[in-house]
Amino acid sequence: MVYRAIGLMSGSSLDGLDIAFVHLHENAGKWDFEIMKADCYEYDGEWKKRLQAAIKLNAFDYQLLHADYGHYLGEQVNRFIAENNLQYQVQIIASHGHTTFHSPEKKMTAQLGDGAAIAGVTGINVVSDLRAMDVALGGQGAPIVPIGEKLLWNDFDFFLNIGGIANISFKNEENFIAFDVCSANTILNMLANKAGKEYDENGTMASQGNINEELLAKLNSLDYYGHAYPKSLSNSFGLETVYPLIQNSGCDIEDALRTYVEHIALQIQNSVKKLLENINTLAEQNHQPPTTNYKLLSTGGGTFNLFLIERLKSYLNEMNVELIIPNENIIKYKEALIMALIGVLRWREENNVLSSVTGARRNSIGGAVWMGLEA
């Protein structure tokens, strides 16, 4: 069976809306994929401001933005379809939305982008609110991409996504462990913005700076890093906890970037180390020899930060973990691709969120369905 779906992803770094039109092929429980067309539509200054300010709105204005952003998403899908001559080819749209509030400990998560509005504008069936069911079942609601890693990639042990927030997954036989590691591109981009740049291309500015050891120690000592998984981060962690520490350090831009790159690399290393320690302990208990070589697939915008990747490779090599960078389409659009898969699984009424990752009471079929097509 072949499904033709569009996945939409808006990350916390606010670089734009990722759109991927994919063919997903299922045969006897095995899935293959092909990214047919993909693009990133950058947010203009007005949309960036509106999305950044969303958490400060009163309830009525927030709901107005939710509806308005849903219509905007629908319009961007229509634009994408027209630009790529995809009329009458798209069977379903799966929209992640743009995360604003995320408090799983209070059984709440919120993503902007009304699915009904997307369906109304496009006339195509839509799946949205992908995290809500898992949170209702006591889960973190994040990360949700491991279902795609489980079904679409079999040759890797670790999966790292360096977006606005860096998250990591580990495949242990049939079970997945995954969690958010730290704020990543959100902070790096904010620092680059202060120097008049959208981002630090290739990590060039960071490479010219020096590590501020006092700041690095403060960052590494933040409480979140001591918490056991499953765990997840909201955008507010970076904006309200991390960035003020950097601002108050007195560092110039290059030193701040250099220090934060090191922080990201160290936190990813620490996460990998903890996962390997747990896996090796289980192997010993089961009288199995430990695995000595691992492969890690890195995706997300941070993978283009050559300096960050250089520092990360150095740390991972110490643990015999090989960092592998896939083709550009996978780097950029892996999450949009997996959103499409999650939507197709919802349409098939099959589990699309893994409780081993999120800590929910059970696996779940997440997503609200909005019928854009007439009956």
- Residue 26, CA distances (Å) to 151, 192, 223, 341 in order: 10, 43, 43, 11
- Provide the pLDDT for residue 55: 93
Question: Candidates 3.20.20.70, 3.40.1280.10, 3.40.33.10, 3.30.420.40; correct CATH number of 2-138+335-370?
Answer: 3.30.420.40
pLDDT surpassing 70 at residue 134: yes
Q: Confidence class of residue 373 from pLDDT cuts 50, 70 and 90?
A: confident
Q: Give the pLDDT of residue 175.
A: 75
The tokens 């501020």 sit on which residue?
A: 212
* pLDDT higher than 80, residue 98: yes
Residue scoring higher pLDDT (348 or 286): 348
| pLDDT of amino acid 235 | 83
Work out the percent of the chain whose per-residue pLDDT is above 90. 87
The per-residue pLDDT for range 2-59, each reduced to its tens digit, is 999 999 999 877 889 999 999 999 999 899 999 999 999 999 999 999 999 999 999 9
Mean pLDDT in the chain? Answer: 94
With cut-offs at 50, 70 and 90, classify the pLDDT of residue 340: very high
* Per-residue pLDDT at 271: 96
pLDDT band, very low/low/confident/very high, at 287 (cuts 50, 70, 90): low
pLDDT at position 282 is: 66
pLDDT per residue as tens digits for the range 294-311: 999 999 999 999 999 999
Mean pLDDT of 366-373: 96
pLDDT beyond 80 at 123: yes
**Mean pLDDT along residues 148-153:** 94
- Residues 65 and 72 sit within 8 Å (Cβ to Cβ): no
- Among 11-15, 289-293, 356-360, whose mean pLDDT is lowest? 289-293
Burial track 283-316 (b if 16+ CB lie within 10 A, e otherwise): eeeeeeeeeeebebbbbbbbbbbebbbebbbebb
Does residue 105 have a pLDDT over 70? yes
Residues of the chain with CATH 3.30.420.40: 2-138+335-370, 151-329
The string of pLDDT tens digits covering residues 154-194 is 889 999 999 999 999 998 766 788 899 999 999 999 999 99
The CATH number of domain 151-329, selected from 3.40.30.10, 3.40.50.720, 3.30.420.40, 3.20.20.70: 3.30.420.40
Residue 125 pLDDT class (50, 70, 90 cuts): very high
Q: Can you give the pLDDT at residue 296?
A: 97
Reported as a single tens digit per residue, the pLDDT across 204-247 is 999 999 999 999 999 999 999 999 988 999 888 999 999 999 99
Kindly report which listed range (48-62, 286-300, 330-344) carries the lowest average pLDDT score: 286-300
